[in-house]
Each structure stands twice: as C-alpha cells, then as structure tokens.
Amino acid sequence: MSESYLDRLFGLKGQVAVVIGGTGVLGGALAIGLAKAGASVVVSGRDPEKGAARVREIEAEGGKGAFSPVDVTRRESIAGLLEHVLKTHGRVDLLINGAGVNNATPYFEIKDEDWDRVFDSNLKAVHWGCQIFGSHMAAKGGGAILNIASVTAHLPLSRVFAYSASKAAVINLTQNVARELAPLKVRVNALCPGFFPAEQNRKILDATRTENIMRQTPMARFGEADELIGATILMLAPVAGSFITGAAYYVDGGFTAMRF
C-alpha cells in the first residue's frame, strides 16, 4: 500500500528520536506518540525500572523502543547518552528535552540551592541537550529539537518563581538556538503545556489552587498527556514541520488567552 498524504506529512518512519524525561508522565506520552508515528524511540531518564516499563508500553503498541539512562545535571552524562545512541542506532534525528523539576515556595523563602536545582535541571540541561545533540545533527545534515517549556513562562503563577523563570529562559534559549542552527538545517522549537497530570503538578496543586486555575482555563479542565502528541509531532515531523523553527506552541486549554 502506498504511503498516504497524512503519513508523508506527519509520519516519522525511519527517524531516531531521543526523549530525555521519557520516564515521566508527559515525556512518556510523547515517547509513545513518536513511536506510534513510526520513530525508533530511545527513552532516557534516571530510573531504569521506569524506563523499562515505558519501553514495554511502546513495544505493546507495536513501536520500537529502548532505554538509556541519563543524569541531566551532568554534562558528561548527556554526552554519554548521545554516544550510546550513536552506537546502538547510528544517529539521532529528533530530540525532546523534557526533564524538569519544580519547587513551590513563597518568594522570600526560596533557598539558593533550590533555585540552582531548578535552573540546573530545567535550563542548563536543555542548553546542554541542544548543544550536544544539535552539534551531531548539524554535522549529519539536519534534525529537530523540541524543548519543553510551560505556560508559566508567559503568565505568572504564584509560588513557582524559579520554575517560571527557568521556563521563560527556555523559550528565549530556544529562539536564540533556532536562529543559530537554522542555516545548519536543525530546527529548534518549544512546547508550552498548560496544566497536565505531571508529577510536579500533583505535588503543588491543592484544591484552592486547582479551582483558581480552572477559573482561568476556558476549557475548564486539566489536559490529558496524549493531547500534547499532535503539537509535538507537528514541530518534529521533517515534512509537516519543515518551516517551523524558533516557535513556542501553547497547549493549555486557552489559559494564556485569559486576562480577566
């Protein structure tokens, strides 16, 4: 059967994708989505048990998956991840920088070590991923990188000062790296999720906070992890996303559209 028009636009058959943070709720959904679209997916994170479970999910859906550990707070670990994937898969075409942490603290109580921990995982690790994997992609003739930001990069949310600042910086970094790598045929974009059932959200959202967020979300519900897959594939797909770089896509049920 010949390839359909939609398969040609959005299909990832033959692509090798690395999902840093693929052991988490949102990163895991994206890893499964990429595999369903035809990519060979390397799930990466700190927990081998969660990684193995994610690979089993991918394979149960008929996809191709593997796990490779990484500690995003160490540059040499991210470099080692690339080296391992090159040995096992030969190249990397797509990268999702999806690892991240949060810290909900009143502003005057933020400790320096907590601020640094958030920025190391949420920003420095993204920079390292872009630099290390982007260099490989540029050398081989192209690729695509998707950095995970947040709606809090655009609108303030109480008690997550370090997280919001780090995600705003991720968008700025994405735009700058996209500009730098565009002549090298490497596209770099940012995905900005609204409120989804990620682990860090469950830790900080009490009943009052949830009510306030729902009041500011026109669709009046949390997102489902699978609802991030469409935008992700659009920005990573070599054909459908071929002219998309330096963009920040908000998938937030209308949260960023609200002002009052």
Environment class of residue 108 by beta-carbon count within 10 Å: exposed (0-12), middle (13-18) or buried (19+)? exposed
Which residues have C-beta within 8 Å of that of residue 81, sequence separation ≥ 6? 18, 20, 44, 68, 69, 70
Q: What is the DSSP string of 234-253?
A: HHH-TTTTTT--S-EEEEST
What is the separation, in whole angstroms, between the first and last Cα of the chain? 52
DSSP β-bridge partners for residue 66? 42
- Of the residues 107, 163, 249, 250, only one is catalytic, namely 163
Alpha carbon distance 74, 99 (integer Å): 13
Phi, psi dihedrals of residue 180, rounded to the nearest 5°: -70, -40
Asked whether 178 and 188 are in contact (CB, 8 A), the reply is: yes
Q: What is the rounded distance in angstroms from the CA atom of residue 87 to the CA atom of residue 32?
A: 22
Active site residue 163: yes
Report d(CA 165, CA 116) in Å as an integer. 12
- Say if CB 190 and CB 160 are below 8 A apart: no
Residues marked active site are found at: 163
